[in-house]
Amino acid sequence: MKHIILSSALVALLAFSGCSTKDPVIDETENNGAATPTEEVSPVETEVVAAEEVVIDEGNAAADANEKSMSGIEKELLSIYFGFDQFSVTTEMNDKLTQDAKLANSVAGDFMIKLEGNCDEWGSDEYNYALGLKRANSVKSALVTEGVDAGRITMVSYGESNPVCSDKTQECWAQNRRVDFKLLP
């Protein structure tokens, strides 16, 4: 009963005190160049530009062409696949790697190369990240042997987090054990 009386008294006190009826005072000495409510704001001016006057930035057009050529070259670069729990490049993958090195030295010569190591879902996250990095490093070593400048190559491991196939089959898991090539400007 005491709680009800105390809470009722508190609510009544708050209700009667209410908000102050004083008007706020605006200090007009420090307006920092901002318009005060009594000043008129000038209307916005608009300008119509004819289509003949529009100039396309040639740098952006060149960047778009560069982007298109990068994606076209990336499609030609072949992924390198690995066996279960393996990180050495097999003899079956040597031909693909040689073709990738030729592309990297010719048409992709102006770009940086990012090697993305990937794994299947077997193993712990830490183990798969380390295995993906070992796979990327073995591809980097093979590319350097083929004449690609090591300074143009960066590596990253995605472990099991970047699968291309999510079925629970041997063929699917084999597709996820790979190193992909990405080009960077």
**Tens-digit pLDDT profile for residues 125-180:** 999 999 999 999 999 999 999 999 999 999 999 999 999 999 999 999 999 999 99
Residue 39 vs residues 3, 29, 33, 36, 42: alpha-carbon distances, Å: 54, 15, 12, 6, 10
**In which domain, by residue range, is 170 found?**
72-184
- Asked if the structure places residue 116 within a domain, the reply is yes
Which of the four pLDDT bands, split at 50, 70 and 90, describes residue 55? very low
pLDDT in tens, 67-118: 558 888 899 999 999 999 999 999 999 999 999 999 999 999 889 999 999 9
- Asked if the structure places residue 25 within a domain, the reply is no
The DSSP line for 156-169 is EEEETSS-S--SSS
- Asked if the structure places residue 38 within a domain, the reply is no
- Asked if the structure places residue 160 within a domain, the reply is yes
Segment (H or E) for 35:
none
Residue 56 has pLDDT above 50, yes or no: no
- Asked if the structure places residue 30 within a domain, the reply is no
Instruction: Give the Cα separation of 109 and 107 in Å (integer).
Output: 6
* pLDDT computed for residue 135 by the predictor: 97
- Asked if the structure places residue 125 within a domain, the reply is yes
How many domains are there within the chain?
Answer: 1
CATH number at residue 133: 3.30.1330.60
* pLDDT computed for residue 61 by the predictor: 45
* pLDDT computed for residue 80 by the predictor: 96
C-alpha radius of gyration, the chain, whole number: 33
Closest CA to 177 of 119, 91, 134: 119
pTM, full prediction: 0.63
